[in-house]
A and B are shown apart, each in its own frame.
Chain A
Amino acid sequence: MFDDSNIIAGLEIGTSKICVVVGEQGPDGAVNIIGLGQARSRGVRKSEIIDPSQVEEDLRGAMFEAEQMADVEIRSVYLGVSGGHIRGFNNRGVHPVVSADREITPDDVEDVVKNAKAINLPAEDTVIHAVRQHFSVDGQDGVTNPVGMLGARLGVDMHVIHGNANRLQNAIRLVRATSLEVDDVVFNGIAASLALLNGEQKELGALVIDLGGGTTEYVVYSNGVMRHSGVLAVGGDHVSNDLAYGLKVPLSRAEKLKIEYGAAIISDAAKGQTISLTNELGLELKRINHEHLQRIMSLRLEEIFELIAQDLEHAGLTDYLRSGVVLCGGASRVPGLVKLAENVFQMNVSAGHACSVSGLTAALDQPEFAAGIGLVKFGSLKSRRREGRSFFPRGIKDMFGKLLQRS
């Protein structure tokens, strides 16, 4: 009953789970989430694929679930990527306006954007996103559309996100192997911020932190544009690993303890308390100090926030986050995390809620699906753009054309 072109699927191959989010785009462009599939991920570490055949198996499972639930056939997906190899930086391009009357034409705009994209990347890297920020005309910053203005020098700032081509290619090839098409590759941090932030927050300035299983992505918006992004290859897995090491328990047990007893801030109730671990017969195996458990977690999570805070400090963005910090990702379920983040960042922190789409509330409220939902949102924006081609003569897919075709 649906025209297939209205179906948009987002696929995130994460470290702890693979999730597929299916959305349907209405005629007005609004997105409605109609399906969700997920599977435990076993072939991924720090958001990078280490066992393709395992991932492929898990991916099929998640796909099947999503197709069942949405009752559609998924032919293509927007693929979310992450990993420690991904970096973001700002680049500025300038272009002299040469026409006699000094009026800036769309051609000038095109040229300046091209200049800004001409960047020196390591040979093995490829650009994932080049997002335009603001134009400047003769030193006047903050111009959003310079066409028709007068000036001699046109400049533009771009935020460029790039990553290792081979590793990105690995994920793309893997998806192709399951006879799916990849519409586009999207950095998970951007996807999460698309799902969580509304225009007002982007305007005021916000930091989105996606605490995943293997990596933590963060993106900063201010004045309506993306200003900064980054990936820390540290996530929930590290918390479990620290617990396993510190409490001397197996990793699987540490994982359970983290979920059951974990906290980001040492709670008064935990002080001096012990947890006894029992085997399946109810016999006590080991006693664990509850306070130690929470201290180990708290130190690790605090460190993640501190590293991000340092990075933002370095980029000079701390004072631009007037709307505060938004958390998402599976690890953001840890009790007390908001409070911990408030302590570190000294600003307003909230748990993210996917506000920009409608549909299954079960999916929208889960912090770990933010990136997946964002991927659908990204797809919907893109297809809307494609329809109204006016301003963006070339779709983002062209940027990726090379990347996608190479596989």
Chain B
Amino acid sequence: MNDQTELPASAAPAETSSALTVKIFGVGNAGIAMLGALNAAEFAAAQFAAINTDAGAFAACSAPVKIHLENKLLRGLGSGGDPERGRALAEEQFSTLKSACEGASVVFILAGLGGGAGSGISPVLAKAAREAGALALAFVTLPFGCEGNRREAQAQLGLEQLKSAADGVVSLPSQRVFKLIDENTGALETFRLIDGFLIEGVRGIWHLLTRPGLIQIHFADLRALLRDRHSESAFAFVEASGAGRSREVVENILSHPLLDEGRALSESDAVLVSLTAGTDLSMAEINRVMDQVKRQCSHAQIIMGAAVDAAMEDKLCVTVIAARQELPSPGMRPQTETRTAGPASSTREVVVARSPRMKKAGNKQVQTQLPLTIVSKGRFDKSEPTKHNGEDLDVPTFIRRGVSLN
């Protein structure tokens, strides 16, 4: 019972969906592909927009708004995999991006980091969205290990910038997906799966916001949870059916590779749990799942939503988004902020959650670092830095003063 009082209903009431304007931006080729993979009918209330530097990718894109960032320097060749160019372009056309975000309550940014457009434009777009007053949530994929160091470094840098610009970032390192899929999956299929995983995250939040729920989550709750956190999130989706489904779901969550075998939960400070099941969803099951999740993340603010979807039959799906930010947040604030629709009203109608989905979906965050210090301190690298008024005196003077040697 106790649990339930803490469980905000999963979906916002129906009217919120009309009050909420959601805009979904696909950035770069990967982002546009993800946009295409989103089930347009399901997201009918959202407004789609595609942003790219390369006009070619727009051809296959059905988004009603297409923003083509271009200037003479690119000669129509796109950003050429250089995030700096993407960023410079986006900053140049900041006002365009901002006006595109105007009026939205939530802006979803879908992108694949590592290339020029995704890594370069996304952070600027997130900033534009926030300046336009929207909650900016980014869903990004990180490149495969085999794509090379440069892309990896660019992706990490992009992620870092995105984290500081957006309210929340859900990232999916493609490399981790290997653990989740069959070895013989085709390359095309793999990419489609990765996009699918990421879309699960979008859909999870989307549902949370738009579907009327047994226990409802207001947009305000989500906003309070995410706003200004600049967090990076790990994300997992598990599904089970049958008699022991709640136990199985918990086990799967705690051993999920995208959650670092559950470690991501204990390190997170805000956790969003969304349960969906058929009409036979029992309060005891909700209780069992939430009990376990709560035990894992005792310091976290937990937002929970429950929904019932007749189409699910005897399946139980749980989506977990665990957000971590650099600063530890005060532990127990969550409960006061989350609201339950009717406290502990044990039998409420089930909300439609999601349609049955693939076995697992997930997103995992990586704690990123800037790849290198730009100026090496040579022999003083390891010694205690000499700071004077915030300046590191170990760095050569001519560099700090920007004296050019040519």
The answer to whether A84 touches B386, judged by C-beta atoms less than 8 angstroms apart, is yes
The answer to whether B396 touches A246, judged by C-beta atoms less than 8 angstroms apart, is yes
B405's nearest neighbour on chain A, judged by CB, is A292
A230→B73 CA distance, assembly (Å): 54
A233→B383 CA distance, assembly (Å): 11
The B-contacting residues of A in range 299-317, CB under 8 angstroms, are: 299-300, 302-303, 307
A45→B382 CA distance, assembly (Å): 10
The count of A-to-B residue pairs whose CB atoms sit within 8 angstroms is 67
Please tell me which one of the listed residues A241, A295, A299, A303 contacts residue B380 in the complex, with CB atoms under 8 A apart.
Answer: A241
Q: Does any Cβ of A come within 8 Å of B397's Cβ?
A: yes
Q: Does any Cβ of A come within 8 Å of B60's Cβ?
A: no
State how many residues of chain A have any CB contact under 8 Å with chain B: 25
The answer to whether A241 touches B403, judged by C-beta atoms less than 8 angstroms apart, is no
Q: State whether A241 and B379 are in contact (beta carbons under 8 Å apart), knowing that A233-B393, A300-B396, A303-B397 are contacts in the complex.
A: yes
Q: Does any Cβ of B come within 8 Å of A261's Cβ?
A: no
A293's nearest neighbour on chain B, judged by CB, is B405
A300→B376 CA distance, assembly (Å): 16
A300's nearest neighbour on chain B, judged by CB, is B397
The answer to whether A299 touches B378, judged by C-beta atoms less than 8 angstroms apart, is no
Chain A 223-245 near chain B by CB (<8 Å), digits 1 or 0? 00000000011100110011011
A296's nearest neighbour on chain B, judged by CB, is B398
A238→B403 CA distance, assembly (Å): 17
In angstroms, how far is the closest chain A Cβ from the Cβ of B303? 44
Q: State whether A244 and B388 are in contact (beta carbons under 8 Å apart), knowing that A50-B383, A233-B393 are contacts in the complex.
A: no
Q: Does any Cβ of B come within 8 Å of A74's Cβ?
A: no
Q: For chain B, give the interface size range.
A: 10 to 19
The A-contacting residues of B in range 342-392, CB under 8 angstroms, are: 375-380, 383-384, 386, 388
B379's nearest neighbour on chain A, judged by CB, is A241
The answer to whether B396 touches A289, judged by C-beta atoms less than 8 angstroms apart, is no
The answer to whether A84 touches B384, judged by C-beta atoms less than 8 angstroms apart, is yes
In angstroms, how far is the closest chain B Cβ from the Cβ of A405? 28
The answer to whether A295 touches B378, judged by C-beta atoms less than 8 angstroms apart, is no
The answer to whether A234 touches B393, judged by C-beta atoms less than 8 angstroms apart, is yes
The answer to whether A46 touches B397, judged by C-beta atoms less than 8 angstroms apart, is no
Q: Does any Cβ of B come within 8 Å of A251's Cβ?
A: yes
The answer to whether A46 touches B376, judged by C-beta atoms less than 8 angstroms apart, is no
* Residues of chain A within 8 A of B399, CB atoms compared: 245-246
In angstroms, how far is the closest chain B Cβ from the Cβ of A70? 34
* Residues of chain B within 8 A of A299, CB atoms compared: 397-398, 401, 403
In angstroms, how far is the closest chain A Cβ from the Cβ of B281? 59
Q: Does any Cβ of A come within 8 Å of B3's Cβ?
A: no
Q: Does any Cβ of A come within 8 Å of B285's Cβ?
A: no
A303→B393 CA distance, assembly (Å): 9
Q: Does any Cβ of A come within 8 Å of B394's Cβ?
A: yes
The answer to whether B379 touches A46, judged by C-beta atoms less than 8 angstroms apart, is no
DSSP majority for the A interface? helix
The B-contacting residues of A in range 334-353, CB under 8 angstroms, are: none
In angstroms, how far is the closest chain A Cβ from the Cβ of B384? 7
A244's nearest neighbour on chain B, judged by CB, is B378
Q: State whether A246 and B393 are in contact (beta carbons under 8 Å apart), knowing that A84-B386, A241-B377, A241-B378 are contacts in the complex.
A: no
* Residues of chain B within 8 A of A295, CB atoms compared: 398, 403, 405
Chain A 253-266 near chain B by CB (<8 Å), digits 1 or 0? 00000000000000
The answer to whether A289 touches B405, judged by C-beta atoms less than 8 angstroms apart, is yes
The answer to whether B396 touches A296, judged by C-beta atoms less than 8 angstroms apart, is yes
Please tell me which one of the listed residues B384, B393, B401, B405 contacts residue A238 in the complex, with CB atoms under 8 A apart.
Answer: B393
Chain B 109-138 near chain A by CB (<8 Å), digits 1 or 0? 000000000000000000000000000000
In angstroms, how far is the closest chain A Cβ from the Cβ of B394? 7
In angstroms, how far is the closest chain B Cβ from the Cβ of A87? 13
* Residues of chain B within 8 A of A302, CB atoms compared: 397
A83's nearest neighbour on chain B, judged by CB, is B384
The answer to whether A241 touches B396, judged by C-beta atoms less than 8 angstroms apart, is yes
* Residues of chain B within 8 A of A242, CB atoms compared: 396-398
A234→B387 CA distance, assembly (Å): 10
* Residues of chain A within 8 A of B396, CB atoms compared: 238, 241-242, 245-246, 296, 300
Chain A 379-390 near chain B by CB (<8 Å), digits 1 or 0? 000000000000
Chain A 269-300 near chain B by CB (<8 Å), digits 1 or 0? 00000000000000000000100100110011
A238→B383 CA distance, assembly (Å): 12
The answer to whether B377 touches A46, judged by C-beta atoms less than 8 angstroms apart, is no
In angstroms, how far is the closest chain B Cβ from the Cβ of A293? 10
The answer to whether A246 touches B384, judged by C-beta atoms less than 8 angstroms apart, is no
* Residues of chain A within 8 A of B397, CB atoms compared: 242, 296, 299-300, 302-303
* Residues of chain B within 8 A of A237, CB atoms compared: 379-380
In angstroms, how far is the closest chain B Cβ from the Cβ of A380? 34
In angstroms, how far is the closest chain A Cβ from the Cβ of B362? 44
In angstroms, how far is the closest chain A Cβ from the Cβ of B52? 40
The answer to whether B378 touches A246, judged by C-beta atoms less than 8 angstroms apart, is no
In angstroms, how far is the closest chain A Cβ from the Cβ of B76? 38
A246→B401 CA distance, assembly (Å): 13
A84→B394 CA distance, assembly (Å): 13
In angstroms, how far is the closest chain A Cβ from the Cβ of B373? 12
* Residues of chain B within 8 A of A303, CB atoms compared: 393, 397
Chain A 68-101 near chain B by CB (<8 Å), digits 1 or 0? 0000000000000000100000000000000000
* Residues of chain B within 8 A of A233, CB atoms compared: 384, 386, 393
A242→B376 CA distance, assembly (Å): 10
A306's nearest neighbour on chain B, judged by CB, is B397
The answer to whether B394 touches A238, judged by C-beta atoms less than 8 angstroms apart, is yes
In angstroms, how far is the closest chain B Cβ from the Cβ of A259? 17
* Residues of chain A within 8 A of B388, CB atoms compared: 232, 307
Chain A 26-52 near chain B by CB (<8 Å), digits 1 or 0? 000000000000000000011010100
B383's nearest neighbour on chain A, judged by CB, is A45
Point out which of B383, B396, B405 has the most chain A C-beta atoms below 10 A from its C-beta. B396
A48→B386 CA distance, assembly (Å): 13
* Residues of chain A within 8 A of B378, CB atoms compared: 241, 244-245, 251
The answer to whether A246 touches B398, judged by C-beta atoms less than 8 angstroms apart, is yes
* Residues of chain B within 8 A of A84, CB atoms compared: 384, 386
* Residues of chain B within 8 A of A296, CB atoms compared: 396-398, 405
The answer to whether A251 touches B379, judged by C-beta atoms less than 8 angstroms apart, is yes
In angstroms, how far is the closest chain A Cβ from the Cβ of B400? 9
A329→B78 CA distance, assembly (Å): 58
* Top-10 shortest CB links A-B: A242-B396, A233-B386, A299-B397, A241-B378, A300-B397, A292-B405, A303-B397, A299-B398, A45-B383, A234-B393
User: What are 11 residue pairs bridging A and B, where the CB atoms are less than 8 Å apart in the complex?
Assistant: A45-B380, A46-B380, A46-B383, A48-B384, A232-B386, A233-B384, A237-B379, A241-B378, A241-B380, A299-B397, A303-B397
Task: Write the residues of chain A forming the contact surface with B, with a CB cutoff of 8 angstroms.
Answer: 45-46, 48, 50, 84, 232-234, 237-238, 241-242, 244-246, 251, 289, 292, 295-296, 299-300, 302-303, 307
Task: Write the residues of chain B forming the contact surface with A, with a CB cutoff of 8 angstroms.
Answer: 375-380, 383-384, 386, 388, 393-394, 396-399, 401, 403, 405
Known: A46-B384, A246-B398. 4 other contacts (CB 8 A): A232-B393, A241-B377, A246-B396, A295-B405
